[in-house]
Amino acid sequence: MDWKNIVIDESTTYLLQRLDDKLAKLNQSRPLPAAALNRIKDELAMEWTYNSNSIEGNTLTLQETKLVLQDGITVKGKPLREHFEAVNHHDAVDYIESIVRPNYKINERDVLHTHALVLDKIEKDFAGRFRNAGVRITGANYTPPNALKVYDYIHDLMQWVNEESGGLHPIIRAAVFHHRFVWIHPFFDGNGRSVRLLFNLLMMKHGFPPAIILRNDRKKYYAALNKANEGDYQKLFLLVCQAMERSLDIYLSNLDNYAENYKPISNIVNEGLVSYGYSQEYISLLARRGEIDAYKEGRVWFTTQEAIYDYVKGRKRMRKTRS
């Protein structure tokens, strides 16, 4: 598996351009009102903690996570470990945000410190320490490398991400880093939560908000990592891009007249809005593939009439080119 030889398909290139355009729109609107900015950051940090822990099996709901973090309340019937996981992850988010700056170079110390925060109060014997024995990952299509190779692989990954990957888009670089880190599996526990923090550092230093992998996409997420193990990164690129688009849209929704243009796909079709005869299922498929500007809340996809129109225009251009 040559993880350094990255191929980006046409649909991913289109997606990245759309994300760059949205980031540019957001940057042009800065500074956002301080109250709105702080509220969005707090909400995303809460969602980040809830979703990342939930992917790993934590049963706290989003509302319970907020109670634990904002009010220090112990939720009846939930294990104490799950409360610590929420507090730990939130502390780790604070750490990542504290070191973000444009020219920051991630290093082994960041990896170990982030992991130490993730496992603090839970598994102190292993927190912030690379594994010293073999491991197996349930559901994965490979076996992680020998523990003796972990440090060298992590060092090589740091060298690649800081010095050798300059030609890659920041989101692609972060996605490849994410996969390679999980492939190395440097710790006995806490690998997923740690890498979902660290790979966001790589994007946030370029001005992007954190990309939050949602708990509802857990199966899709693991399937994408397994495909990357086979050398095919396209599903992982799509998943990360869609997570980033959702975060960008959350910020942009605070701009005048931005959010009101987005409607559930079912509404666009059922209300006879501009859908060009496409069915709800087909437009939803385009959204899942990243071929139209769309984002998902829960299990509902939202898009705009303009996004569908742009897709139709693009199809017409392609037909003319081929003819």
Three-state secondary-structure class, residue 263: strand
> CA 221 → CA 35, 196, 217, 242, 290, distances in Å?
33, 12, 6, 12, 15
In a domain, 22, yes or no: yes
pLDDT in tens, 221-257: 999 999 999 999 999 999 999 999 999 999 988 775 5
pLDDT in tens, 98-138: 999 999 999 999 999 999 999 999 998 899 999 999 998 88
Query: According to the model, what pLDDT value does residue 275 have?
Result: 57
In a domain, 124, yes or no: yes
Tell whether the model's pLDDT for residue 288 goes beyond 60.
yes
- For residue 301, what are the domain limits? 263-322
In a domain, 68, yes or no: yes
Residues 188, 246 within the same domain: yes
pTM for this entry? 0.83
Residues 270, 170 within the same domain: no
- Biggest alpha carbon–alpha carbon distance for the chain: 66
> CA 306 → CA 94, 178, 274, 279, 312, distances in Å?
37, 33, 8, 16, 10
Query: According to the model, what pLDDT value does residue 81 have?
Result: 96
Average of per-residue pLDDT values in the chain: 89
ω into residue 33 within 30 of 0, thus cis?
no
Residues 159, 180 within the same domain: yes
Query: According to the model, what pLDDT value does residue 138 have?
Result: 83
Boundary of a domain, candidates 194, 218, 252: 252
- Once rounded to an integer, what is the mean pLDDT over residues 29-36? 76
Boundary of a domain, candidates 225, 252, 279: 252
Order of strands, sheet of 294-297, starting from the edge strand that comes earlier in the sequence = 263-264, 300-303, 294-297
Query: According to the model, what pLDDT value does residue 150 have?
Result: 97
Residues 43, 79 within the same domain: yes
Residues 287, 186 within the same domain: no
Query: According to the model, what pLDDT value does residue 218 have?
Result: 95
Torsion sign across C-alpha atoms 107, 111, 144, 3: negative
Query: According to the model, what pLDDT value does residue 313 have?
Result: 73
Boundary of a domain, candidates 232, 252, 272: 252
> Which residue do the tokens 């392609």 mark?
318
pLDDT in tens, 134-175: 998 888 888 999 999 999 999 999 999 999 998 999 999 999
> Which residue do the tokens 């997923």 mark?
192
List the catalytic residue out of 113, 179, 185, 206: 185
Three-state secondary-structure class, residue 71: helix
pLDDT in tens, 41-93: 999 999 999 999 999 999 999 999 999 999 899 999 999 999 999 999 999 99
Query: According to the model, what pLDDT value does residue 276 have?
Result: 64
Residues 113, 153 within the same domain: yes
- Once rounded to an integer, what is the mean pLDDT over residues 25-53? 88
In whole angstroms, give the CA distance from residue 48 to residue 66.
12
Query: According to the model, what pLDDT value does residue 285 have?
Result: 86
Return phi, psi of residue 297, to 5°. -120, 120
Three-state secondary-structure class, residue 64: helix
Residues 6+ apart with CB under 8 A from 73: 67
Residues 171, 24 within the same domain: yes
Higher-confidence position of 33 and 193:
193
Residues 248, 272 within the same domain: no
Query: According to the model, what pLDDT value does residue 253 have?
Result: 83
Residues 104, 126 within the same domain: yes
Buried b (16+ CB within 10 A) or exposed e, 53-92: bbbbebebeeebbbbbbeeeeebeebeeebbbbbbbbbeb
In a domain, 4, yes or no: no
Tell whether the model's pLDDT for residue 19 goes beyond 90.
yes
178 tagged catalytic: no
In whole angstroms, give the CA distance from residue 239 to residue 244.
9
Residues 235, 104 within the same domain: yes
Residues 31, 179 within the same domain: yes
Residues 269, 153 within the same domain: no
Copy the structure tokens of residue 257.
């007249």
Query: According to the model, what pLDDT value does residue 303 have?
Result: 84
Domain count, the chain: 2
pLDDT in tens, 303-314: 887 778 777 776
Question: What single string gives the DSSP state of each residue in 104-159?
Answer: ----HHHHHHHHHHHHTTT-TTTTT----S----TT-SS-PPPGGGHHHHHHHHHH
Domain CATH code at residue 180? 1.10.3290.10
